[in-house]
Amino acid sequence: MKNLEYKNKKLQFSKTDIASVAKNNKTPFYLYSEEILVKNYQDFYQGAVNANLINPLVCFALKSNPNKELVKILAKMGSGADIVSGGELKRAMECGIPAEKIVFSGVGKTEEEILYALKVSKGKLCSFNIESLEELELINSCAKRTKTVARICFRLNPVVKPKTHKYISTGNKTHKFGLLEKDVLSFLKEKKYWSHSKLVGLSIHIGSQLLDLKATKKAIAKMCDIALKTQAPLEFIDVGGGLGVDYHPSETKRMPSIEEYMTLVYKTLHKEFYSKSDLRPRVVFEPGRRIIAKAGILVMRVLRNKISEDNHFVIVDGGMNDFMRPSLYGAYHGVTPVQEAKATTRVHVVGPICETSDCFGSDRPLPALKSGDLVILEDTGAYGYSMGSNYNLRGRPLELLIQKNQKLKTVNKAQDYKELL
């Protein structure tokens, strides 16, 4: 089954008629599918198992979508979490993800967040993925004060250049992320940083929306090489997230399948680590987008048309405050009318925000659309609601979930003026 399909000229998402959902709910709203989410997680996890990876742990990157109900669904399936703030840690644990399955990433963890993490996890957090010497120093001192031992993982900077948008590329020297090999090896020798810290893993995360796996392979090989050099009894090797999805039809052919990806991870680990060591660290993954992007759409209504000579604008009621990726990264997302009709013109689909970048698509072939017609923005489950804001003092949109039994559930109410102002 395709996630999006016309039936009697009416667009369905995950077998649900979008127009009927919009009849009873104010646009714009996010619509998620439990069935797709569950399938994506299971395909990913099962893919790792099928590739013979040892005891894999899939840590869902909460920043891609921290909605409570969605995280609870993932928690029930055994998912862990990759978190980047105290707020995300609290959310993950409240949704049922145990501390043992949570990795804490990010270059700017505060003292308050570190103390909070040590306290609520009772020192059991899977790891603090650390990014600098000063951070290690601070974590060690926080652990000392709270009489615990912090579990530490070094996030490596493997010095690779993945082919992706420069704003979502993170694995090179000029980026603020990760530690260089020589620094990792020298930190390990400094006994004073290790009185209340223990090295349990190594990690990488070289960027997002990766469709070409050459840099991934190189980065994993580099991590294995450093892992052997540390001579530490590592419990896990964390290969990060970033696996891409096909937002644009031209990306479908280039998008690696889960099987290809897992095979590459297995073969690289085998060649570069397992064949040279008796240690068998488990493999940790940190996917966000690949699990949730395709499990959500943004439903919007056309407000009106505006024609300025050659430029035809279709103004919709959703804006860059609801969904930011096109304005932030120039990201492509399909715009699809809910009522099927032949494309007759090329239009710019824009939101109401007072910014020129508030544009969901330029020169898109679309049928004539009039006030009140519905359109959807595709593949908006990841980095959608979570990147949203109240810019222009607009309330945050409603989030709805199509449950497995096809019943609709409100998983987050729209913000009204009372809440907003």
Ligand X SMILES: *Cc1c(COP(=O)(O)O)cnc(C)c1O
Q: Residues comprising the binding site for substrate? A: 289, 325, 329, 355, 383
Residue 259 makes CB contacts below 8 A (sequence gap 6+) with 47, 50, 51
Q: How many residues bind ligand X (CB under 6 A)?
A: 16
- Given the structure tokens 């910014």, which residue do they identify? 355
Handedness of CA 177, 182, 188, 193 (dihedral sign): negative
Print burial letters for 238-250: b (CB count within 10 Å at least 16), e (below 16). Answer: bbbbbbbbebeee
Taking the least distance from each CB to ligand X, the nearer of 208 and 412 is 208
Which residues, 357 to 396, sit near ligand X by CB under 6 A?
Answer: 382
Q: Does 82 bind ligand X (CB under 6 A)?
A: yes
Which residues, 240 to 279, sit near ligand X by CB under 6 A?
Answer: 240-242
Q: Does 63 bind ligand X (CB under 6 A)?
A: yes
Taking the least distance from each CB to ligand X, the nearer of 242 and 326 is 242
**What whole-number distance in Å separates Cα of residue 60 and Cα of residue 40?**
11
Q: Does 289 bind ligand X (CB under 6 A)?
A: yes
| 152 to 191: interface string for ligand X, x by CB under 6 A | ----------------------------------------
Residue 160, phi then psi, degrees to nearest 5:
-125, 160
Query: At its nearest, how many Å lie between ligand X and the CB of residue 358?
Result: 23
Under 8 Å between Cβ of 163 and 211? yes
CA distance to 45, 73, 158, 250, 268, per residue, from 274 (Å): 21, 34, 19, 37, 9
**What whole-number distance in Å separates Cα of residue 214 and Cα of residue 328?**
26
Q: Does 318 bind ligand X (CB under 6 A)?
A: no
| Residues found in the chain | 421
Q: Does 64 bind ligand X (CB under 6 A)?
A: yes
- Please give the structure tokens belonging to residue 44: 């990913």
Is 354 a known active-site residue? Answer: yes
Taking the least distance from each CB to ligand X, the nearer of 173 and 370 is 173
Q: Which residues pair with 357 in a beta bridge?
A: none
Q: Does 286 bind ligand X (CB under 6 A)?
A: yes
Query: At its nearest, how many Å lie between ligand X and the CB of residue 304?
Result: 35
**267-270 long-range CB contacts below 8 Å, 24 or more apart?**
268/217, 268/220, 268/221, 268/224, 269/53, 269/220, 269/224, 269/237
Largest CA distance in the chain: 70
Taking the least distance from each CB to ligand X, the nearer of 85 and 268 is 85
**What whole-number distance in Å separates Cα of residue 52 and Cα of residue 201?**
20
Which window, 130-138, 238-246, 263-271, 327-335, contacts ligand X (CB under 6 A)? 238-246
CA distance to 4, 81, 104, 227, 239, per residue, from 99 (Å): 36, 9, 10, 24, 19
Q: Does 288 bind ligand X (CB under 6 A)?
A: yes
Member of 287, 296, 319, 397 binding ligand X (CB under 6 A):
287
Q: Does 61 bind ligand X (CB under 6 A)?
A: yes
Binding-site residues sit at 242, 286-289, 325, 329, 355, 383
Which window, 130-138, 265-273, 283-291, 349-357, contacts ligand X (CB under 6 A)? 283-291
Which window, 92-100, 246-254, 281-289, 315-323, contacts ligand X (CB under 6 A)? 281-289
Q: Does 126 bind ligand X (CB under 6 A)?
A: no
Member of 105, 157, 169, 321 binding ligand X (CB under 6 A):
105
Under 8 Å between Cβ of 415 and 395? yes
Member of 208, 268, 336, 412 binding ligand X (CB under 6 A):
208
Q: Does 47 bind ligand X (CB under 6 A)?
A: no
Query: At its nearest, how many Å lie between ligand X and the CB of residue 140?
Result: 21
Distance, CA of 167 to chain centre: 15
Closest-CA residue to 372 (of 305, 417, 319, 306)? 305
Query: At its nearest, how many Å lie between ligand X and the CB of residue 124?
Result: 20
Question: How many CB atoms are closer than 10 A to CB 7?
Answer: 10
Q: Does 85 bind ligand X (CB under 6 A)?
A: no
**What whole-number distance in Å separates Cα of residue 33 and Cα of residue 295?**
5
Query: At its nearest, how many Å lie between ligand X and the CB of residue 352?
Result: 28
Which window, 236-244, 248-256, 299-307, 339-347, contacts ligand X (CB under 6 A)? 236-244
**Amino acid letter at 75?**
A
Say which of 95, 142, 153, 354 is annotated catalytic: 354
Query: At its nearest, how many Å lie between ligand X and the CB of residue 84?
Result: 6
Query: At its nearest, how many Å lie between ligand X and the CB of residue 380?
Result: 13
Contacts to ligand X by CB under 6 A? 61, 63-64, 82, 105, 205, 208, 240-242, 286-290, 382
Active site residues: 354
